[in-house]
Amino acid sequence: MKTFSEFGLVPALMQAVTDLGFETPTPIQSKVIPLLLKHERDLVGLAQTGTGKTAAYGLPLLQLTDIHSHATQVLILCPTRELCLQIAGDLSDFAKHMRGVKILAVYGGASIGDQIKALSRGVHIIVATPGRMNDVLRRKKARLEGVQRVVLDEADEMLKMGFEEDLKAILDEVPDSARTFLFSATMPKQVAAIAGKYMHNPEEIIVGQRNSGSEKVKHECYMVHAKDRYPALKRILDYYRDIYGIVFCRTRIETQEVAGMLMADGYNADALHGDMSQDQRDRVMKNFRNRSLQILVATDVAARGLDVNDLTHVINYNLPDEADGYTHRSGRTGRAGKEGISVAIVNMREEYKIHMIERIIRKKFEHKSVPSASQVCESRLVGLVEQIKQVKVDDKHVDRYMPVINAALVEMSKEEIIKRFVMLEGKRFLDYYKNAPDLNAGGSHSHGAQNRQDKRGSYRQGNDERSSDNEMVRLRVNIGSRNGLTPSDLISAINRATPGPMVRIGRIAIEEHESVFEISEADAEFLMPTLNEATYHGRDVRAVVERGGKHGHDRHDRHRGGGYGGRKNHHRRH
């Protein structure tokens, strides 16, 4: 097995490799690094996301860079600003012991003036998105005649996003003598055409089979009726207690709707899509990376460049429009040598898509049944027991109270104590799943008079305390999207303001300058004093109650919560 020391990397790069904790090269690093250092041929690398491509080309490109020249020598093109920043950051980490190397990220959503100023001072390596790079070239503010090496990272995604004309315009500015390195997860006809036009006798490196998925990913399929897609998603999230993953949706609107429903149902979730400002996107991605968020609901484009190595699941709420897109999605998990699960929730009319994907990834899906109510309850109860087993007991503080506790429990058997504990801690999900139906396509969907299903699939028991007639009121607060507020931010603010028993939050509408949310009248009285003493990003929060009437935001409303989610975010924290 190779080690990084066998590649002939200079000491400064080897020190960075050691600092970063790299030990054994990944397969693509083992194949690509020697070729880029010693050979003069172009290269096509086919490998999944998370296989270590950035280090595979980044380390040798840094070593080959002449820091005594002020010319731009390397151009790296990638599909999104997130990936652009990630690559530039990784290269900076690799080069931290190399003096004089200048690396610049050129991408939309940031000041083009600042980027042009940096270019005028001289940059050795440019990492750019095609749209912004082409804009800079049209202004004649970048010179590429000294470029010796070009990297097209995630070429298939750049073409899928409509950057073909931008790529051609940029590549036409690069000297014919420059070497081109193309990396892609799949090799559709468009990518092959780019390779044929701009590459000369390229060497092909394939990690795994062409267009195949990661070997570490297990593929699961759940067949449901279309109307049960959302309740099936909830059932899966409830069953896998420690899930940390991405739920992929096809459109921005669907992403917002699904994320809103999950948050309203108590899940620690948020959305990531193209309509968000860069500050909002950065905040959501930061929260997801540090696990403040457990579930990220995202579009394909928005998730590009999200570098997280320990995702347990990728869930396809809807399959992508193109079968190749599944390869990219599933590649977000099973990274860095870890195992992952890619889940597809499909209806019977979509079964043919599963067969198409199986041919592309050269793997079979495991067709599974949506977990039953009893399976979910068993999983949640086992989770409670595991939490108890991991609690550290401080004997000095507890022993003094044990005689009184033992005396109070003396008439109860061990089994009775355990049962009462289960009811105390697990009553919510036990009640919620008491009469929950089979969600599998072809299963029984009769709900009975006391078990009604709303349009989101939240099953409410006739005697559920959450279905009480307690009057709901609307609270209007003086912060909105202009202040960077998102539904999850508002829920977090309510959490901080309401320690104690759980409350139910109804619909949420985020406006530009203000926001509105529904809450019971009794809870509003409890919340108002504390909320009016809070601040948000330096702004004093002011909340007022609206009683009756329409507030005119139905098109933005989040659906009212009511189902058990198993995660805390819009409830008062204990």
Domains 4-206 and 217-372 fall in the same CATH topology: yes
pLDDT of residue 569: 38
More confident: 2 or 115: 115
pLDDT of residue 499: 56
- Which of 179-183, 395-399, 482-486 is most confident? 179-183
pLDDT of residue 462: 33
pLDDT of residue 188: 73
pLDDT of residue 211: 46
Residues 6+ apart with CB under 8 A from 156: 184, 185, 186, 187, 188, 190, 191, 324, 328
Cα(27)–Cα(17) distance, integer angstroms: 16
Mean pLDDT score of the chain, rounded to an integer? 81
Q: Mean pLDDT over residues 315-327, rounded?
A: 84
Is residue 554 predicted with pLDDT exceeding 80? no
Residues 304/293, Cβ–Cβ less than 8 Å: no
- Stretch among 308-322, 417-431, 470-484 having the lowest mean pLDDT: 417-431
By CB atoms closer than 10 A (0-12, 13-18, 19+), residue 398 is exposed
* Amino acid symbol at 347: N
Under the banding of pLDDT at 50, 70 and 90, the label for residue 498 is low
For the beta sheet containing 515-520, the strands, ordered from the edge strand earlier in sequence to the opposite edge, are 505-510, 515-520, 472-477, 543-546
Is residue 471 predicted with pLDDT exceeding 80? no
Q: Are strands 535-536 and 515-520 parallel, antiparallel or unpaired?
A: unpaired
Is residue 65 predicted with pLDDT exceeding 60? yes
Residues 87/153, Cβ–Cβ less than 8 Å: yes
Find the radius of gyration of the CA atoms of the chain.
Answer: 27
Element (H or E) spanning 248, and its range?
strand 245-248
Under the banding of pLDDT at 50, 70 and 90, the label for residue 5 is confident
Under the banding of pLDDT at 50, 70 and 90, the label for residue 490 is confident
Give me 534's structure tokens.
């809070």
Give me 178's structure tokens.
């420059």
Cα(154)–Cα(185) distance, integer angstroms: 7
Under the banding of pLDDT at 50, 70 and 90, the label for residue 110 is confident
Is residue 343 predicted with pLDDT exceeding 80? yes
Cα distances (angstroms) measured from residue 131 to each of 77, 109, 134, 162, 175: 10, 11, 5, 10, 20
- Exposure b/e, 516-529, CB count within 10 A at least 16 = b: bbbbbeebbebbbe
pLDDT of residue 275: 78
Is residue 273 predicted with pLDDT exceeding 70? yes
pLDDT of residue 446: 34
Q: Mean pLDDT over residues 95-124, rounded?
A: 94
The string of pLDDT tens digits covering residues 152-189 is 998 888 887 889 899 999 999 999 999 999 988 777 77
User: Nearest-5° angle of CA 570, CA 571, CA 574?
Assistant: 140
More confident: 330 or 247: 247
Residues 485/479, Cβ–Cβ less than 8 Å: yes
User: Nearest-5° angle of CA 35, CA 38, CA 40?
Assistant: 80
Cα(83)–Cα(362) distance, integer angstroms: 28
pLDDT of residue 367: 92
Residues 6+ apart with CB under 8 A from 390: none
Is residue 458 predicted with pLDDT exceeding 50? no
pLDDT of residue 337: 67
Phi and psi angles of residue 340, each rounded to the nearest 5 degrees, phi first = -150, 170
CATH superfamily of 461-556: RRM (RNA recognition motif) domain (3.30.70.330)
Tell me, what DSSP letter sits at residue 241?
A: T
The string of pLDDT tens digits covering residues 513-549 is 889 988 887 778 778 888 888 888 878 888 888 755 4
More confident: 377 or 1: 377
Q: Would you give the end-to-end CA distance of the chain in angstroms?
A: 51
Residues 31/55, Cβ–Cβ less than 8 Å: no
Under the banding of pLDDT at 50, 70 and 90, the label for residue 69 is very high
More confident: 86 or 467: 86
The CATH number of domain 217-372 is 3.30.200.20: no
The full 3-state SS of 447-464, as one line of letters, equals: CCCCEEECCCCCEEECCC
Under the banding of pLDDT at 50, 70 and 90, the label for residue 556 is very low
Under the banding of pLDDT at 50, 70 and 90, the label for residue 307 is low
Torsion-angle region of 345 (φ positive above 0: left; ψ -120 to 50: alpha; else: beta): beta
Is residue 418 predicted with pLDDT exceeding 50? yes
Nearest to 480 by CA among 401, 396, 547, 539: 539
Where do runs of H (alpha helix) occur along 433-552? 487-497, 521-531
Q: Mean pLDDT over residues 39-46, rounded?
A: 85
More confident: 489 or 237: 237
What are the domain boundaries of the chain?
4-206, 217-372, 377-437, 461-556
Residues 156/191, Cβ–Cβ less than 8 Å: yes
Give me 397's structure tokens.
């503080």
Q: Find tokens 């999605």 and name the residue.
A: 329
Q: Mean pLDDT over residues 482-507, rounded?
A: 73
Under the banding of pLDDT at 50, 70 and 90, the label for residue 503 is low
- Stretch among 157-161, 216-220, 352-356, 548-552 having the lowest mean pLDDT: 548-552
Secondary-structure class of domain 4-206 per CATH: alpha beta
pLDDT of residue 49: 64
Is residue 290 predicted with pLDDT exceeding 80? yes
